[in-house]
A and B are shown apart, each in its own frame.
Chain A
């Protein structure tokens, strides 16, 4: 290790597996110090913002859902909200409830997928869900059952679980009957038990110490845990700064994206600082608005009690990315409960949608994708044609925080003497999976490049 000449070492690690999409990681290590950790999301550019130009105002929900097969509902919902905002239409009442129900379905299946198939294997030393199904069959079966129930909700409301066809600007093409929705109730009641058991299961995992030093950004509603709407709200990492919200129309001024040479994903910063969206941010911003049952589960899981916060007290803010799996599990439980509540209160609306007449204007829409805040903005001409589109996905926002996470983690690993490629890769993969990144557009092998100089 006393080689005086700078040495460049490139390692090809065959996979950053079990994330959606594929990515590479570049580490620069100088004299045992990590000077840089860059997540190389060099997905082939997919041009969605360009494809949208010239399309009719009814088209973005179907088109943008193809950005991500794991959270298509999120894309459809953010697109609808932005378009309706531009056209001056508000969708409320039972139609809004149905949208929330659809979104709950996606939360259930997507968070469950992440918990059981992508994340849990890390805690239990397995390569994948297949290995897990041998060592922990009952947990995998329960996970599959839970995920199926989430899929069933999306399928009933949307027609199919991936790229649902029933969503339209203004609401739905067809609203389900009460009787149809009731068919889901029994499964959802089983899912409620399954979700509880999942919380207990993941609460028993071993969580390494870690802290993510980023501002937390999530949508907030006054009286409910924000999913399909809300005001962007920030909990700064610097505790001397108060939490604050800003209007959605200011989003791209506050969350500024910049392109960096190492990635096709744009990097963004919130008011000049690193920020994180997703489960940890939602829990920090809106945890106190969860249902009593979900709060009980959260307490049991060791997440603390947001109701007992003193003032804005950060006591119960969880900043350990490893523990995000706990928040996800609690969110699944909450989504199941919400789904049951919405179904119980459902009255079929007179029309499955409200008219959304085209007009010139600019509209903003944001919702809470399972992985974090997803923002859309569209500009339309008088004929309702898209003249400009802007989409800010959660992973692009989280990238800076993930990289900082990786830098610290690798540093800690090096300090402990875990310097081998295999050890570092394992560490980094886990760290990235903690954040459930949705790099859906990437298409490359995961490579870990370590550049070491001495």
Chain B
């Protein structure tokens, strides 16, 4: 009989074989931690393929990444780049997931180096190359080494304002002191204008006012505050911090933010502000890329005011890509990263679309062949001028970077304080989260 049922013995063997196969498949799928996904010599002719983690935004589109990668590949013969796209703008979280599954990319765009350096996952750049090319060579250095070329910087947050709406409320110029700022908010509200737009539905966006106030009031007076927090010399529950945070609570309590602000998504907050639904918007300088070109002159910007009117610029030097310490082709990875980081075409896209402030040595805005608004030029002046620059709390990627996970706790506190008077309680939670994260 040709088509008879398999014997019990062969069925058992088949079952055992299947189970063994599945077990082996399961085992082989779990790559070792720290593995790199790149493959040297994976193509014919000695070419190398390296993986590159990117992220997309309305400004940094698929087309931007593809073009910039193609240009970088041309600069490094024999190199092929496999683009990976983070599923959200949180590159750090995705890079960690890739690392946990043994697929840590060879190149990683705009991640926070401190988290990964502690695990020995990143390779530092040659300091002489960094010194030769960038205005602030140590701007985002971590423990004395540069892991991401300091190609550009941001001010986080700036206070953008609508000049027309200010005029309608009888305000002729932006506020200088905190008292002026509060008086202007009151005047705008009285005139029936929403004083401040807040995209509180996205946690990072909800934290912008608090970041502005803390950077101005706390780091403005003590630029080493974050380092001292690491050393345990200061705390969030200190009186000066709570006083600063109480200012944010006052703003929320007085109704200076948009109605239902915690339900407004970040993308909608941009539309609301640019379409004239609110007079001010506290956001990172990348908002400059969203200023409507047809009425850009309606918009101006100033720094979060301090009590005495002194100027404090919450500053963060970002940059391009980090290089995996475990990449199979470090020379080619470095050559690609350096070529990408100096490519003027990339700067043009980053400046015009993402409002990035370029940090290349010996260049002016004109050298990048960009078309930017007056508010961009005025804002860039805060970067190039001599003034008090402090780390933007939660955004610095240097030694002032907050420990892993703290940003989420910080964002949650910002949202909680929108409707809770318990400033001390929220700050105690932050201290507790900091202690857990640094234990």
Q: Do A and B share a complex?
A: no
Q: Which residues of A approach B to under 8 Å, CB–CB? A: none
Q: Which residues of B approach A to under 8 Å, CB–CB? A: none
